[in-house]
Structure 1
Amino acid sequence: MCAAKAHGRGCMNLRGILALVTGGSDGIGREIALQLQAASADVIVTGRSPDKLQAMAALGFGTIAGDLSTTAGIDAVVGGVVGKPLALLVNNAGIGSDYDLDRLETLESASHCIRTNLDAPVALCTRLLPTLRARPEAAIVNITSGLAIAPRAGSAIYCATKAGLRSYTQAIRHLLKDSNIRVIEALPPVVETNMTAGRGGKKMSAHACAAEIVHGIRTGKSEVNVGMVKMLQLVHSISPALARRIMIRF
């Protein structure tokens, strides 16, 4: 059943729509792009690696090269889709940070993470809003993290960016509640990607994670808690303090 019907909106038909997936040449973003394409959407992906973008182009994807931590990269992405019938914006691109509280030299890594994970989605939502408003139906999907609910001490900057993006997403959802644009937040758990390489513990596959996100888009959910994040949300709803104690040393 379509969750959006309760709010007077229908499920999103992906057939024939134009979607933009940032960070769509690798990891979760690549899987989202593949699954949107399998649902008959036209998909443009962004990325920094020429080789990976070339591989995506060979699979029939539109591609835009750009580092979203830079103004030039954001300009390239906006310029690549403005004037096209964009109906779905998936802000997926994200990086970790080597931030160390005791080393001043890691502040640049922290700033790079903030620019990519928080500043870029805000800029793209804002600058592409007129394009999305021009469609009969459109959606913004911001990929945050279970760590946006409760932080992990070893990833202070990453957690801060995702918590910031979560707050921003909730706010603009309210601002756009009477518009043609649905605002969706997807909260993945630890997923098997290049970013998490070397980390132990159980990881969800990027394919399975993307499948839950795409299902959420199609069925009109406003928040997609993926995998073990469902349990974290349940714990947090009962006791936020307990959720924080569990996650801080995760």
Structure 2
Amino acid sequence: MEIRGKLALVTGGSDGIGREIALQLQGAGADVIVTGRSSEKLQAMAALGFGTISGDLSTTAGVDAIIGDVAGKPIAILVNNAGVGSEYELDQPATLESAAHCIRTNLDAPIALCTQLLPALRTQPEAAIVNVTSGLAIAPRAGGSIYCATKAGLRSYTQAIRHLLKDSNVRVIEALPPVVETNMTAGRSGKKMSAHDCAAEIVRGIRTGKSEVNAGMVKILRLVHSISPALARRIMIQF
């Protein structure tokens, strides 16, 4: 896909992986609009030449604000990157709201944006939907049950709509990052991929027309899973 001259919308594009995707798309010649919740971070992105939209994707109002702001604009690349974790605990009903917030942000919002922006994407000579899931969509870890469930759900949704759109101008790409150095993973130890390197693989996947971008260590997980799904699950469940 030729990125230069395209208009891209990157959710969660003011920080982390999303910010790096936005910067690299811009560097490849795209016009980029980013969404986020922090006015300070959005102002910083605006100073770099990005269009910005403030919206909380865990709410219907937030999704509607984004849809309203891009109405009539020739969106050609939609990157559903925004995501949050969950503090859900299995035996604590009080944490159900945290679970619901995670589900609304990570799964409901991408589905809504794909559905409502598809007509605009269809009007372009070539277009792409990029849904950012996770290596944990392949095999979950026990410590992040709700997050893993949302990413697995988005993976399944992505595979299904890819088939539905296979004869259209809209390419559907799934990006599966490993553990990446972001604010979300700040408290975790172990090896982490840089947000810059992860974004570079995703943007390369958009350019080369890949259907699935397995970034960093996810390549190894995919290999293990292809040989033995049960082994992949055993490894990842305690990760």
* TM-score bin, normalised by smaller chain: over 0.9
Q: Tell me the alpha carbon deviations over residues 121-170 of structure 1, each in whole angstroms, 9 at most, x when there is no partner.
A: 00000000101001111000000000000000000000000000000000
Task: Point out where structure 2 has 5 or more consecutive residues left out of the alignment.
Answer: none
Within 2, Cα distance between the matches of 1:132 and 1:83? 11
Q: How does the TM-score come out when normalised to structure 1?
A: 0.95
Which one of the candidate residues 175, 180, 186 is aligned to 1:197? 186
Which one of the candidate residues 42, 59, 65 is aligned to 2:54? 65
Within 2, Cα distance between the matches of 1:67 and 1:151? 26
Within 2, Cα distance between the matches of 1:200 and 1:106? 25
Q: Secondary structure at the match of 2:53?
A: strand
Alignment of 1:108-123 (within 5 A): 108-123=97-112
Letter of the 1:40 partner, please give it.
Answer: G
RMSD: 0.3
The structure 1 segments of at least 4 consecutive aligned residues displaced by more than 4 Å after TM superposition are none
Letter of the 1:41 partner, please give it.
Answer: A
Q: Secondary structure at the match of 1:174?
A: helix
Which one of the candidate residues 81, 86, 90 is aligned to 1:97? 86
1:107 aligns with 2:96: yes
Within 1, Cα distance between the matches of 2:7 and 2:118? 14
Which one of the candidate residues 71, 74, 98 is aligned to 2:63? 74
Q: Tell me the alpha carbon deviations over residues 166-191 of structure 1, each in whole angstroms, 9 at most, x when there is no partner.
A: 00000000000000000000000000
Q: Secondary structure at the match of 1:99?
A: coil
Which one of the candidate residues 224, 228, 231 is aligned to 1:239? 228
Indicate the residue corresponding to 2:219 in structure 1. 230
1:145 aligns with 2:124: no
Q: Tell me the alpha carbon deviations over residues 24-62 of structure 1, each in whole angstroms, 9 at most, x when there is no partner.
A: 000000000000000010000000000000000000000
Question: How many residue pairs get matched?
Answer: 239
Indicate the residue corresponding to 1:169 in structure 2. 158
Q: Secondary structure at the match of 1:125?
A: helix
Q: Tell me the alpha carbon deviations over residues 52-97 of structure 1, each in whole angstroms, 9 at most, x when there is no partner.
A: 0000000000000000000110011111112011100000000000
Indicate the residue corresponding to 1:130 in structure 2. 119
Q: Tell me the alpha carbon deviations over residues 181-209 of structure 1, each in whole angstroms, 9 at most, x when there is no partner.
A: 00000000000000001100000000000
Within 1, Cα distance between the matches of 2:62 and 2:54? 8
Q: Tell me the alpha carbon deviations over residues 195-248 of structure 1, each in whole angstroms, 9 at most, x when there is no partner.
A: 001100000000000000000000000000000000000000000000000000
Q: Secondary structure at the match of 1:218?
A: helix
Letter of the 1:73 partner, please give it.
Answer: G
Q: How does the TM-score come out when normalised to structure 2?
A: 1.00
Letter of the 2:233 partner, please give it.
Answer: R
Letter of the 1:194 partner, please give it.
Answer: N
Report how far residue 108 of structure 1 moved: 0.2
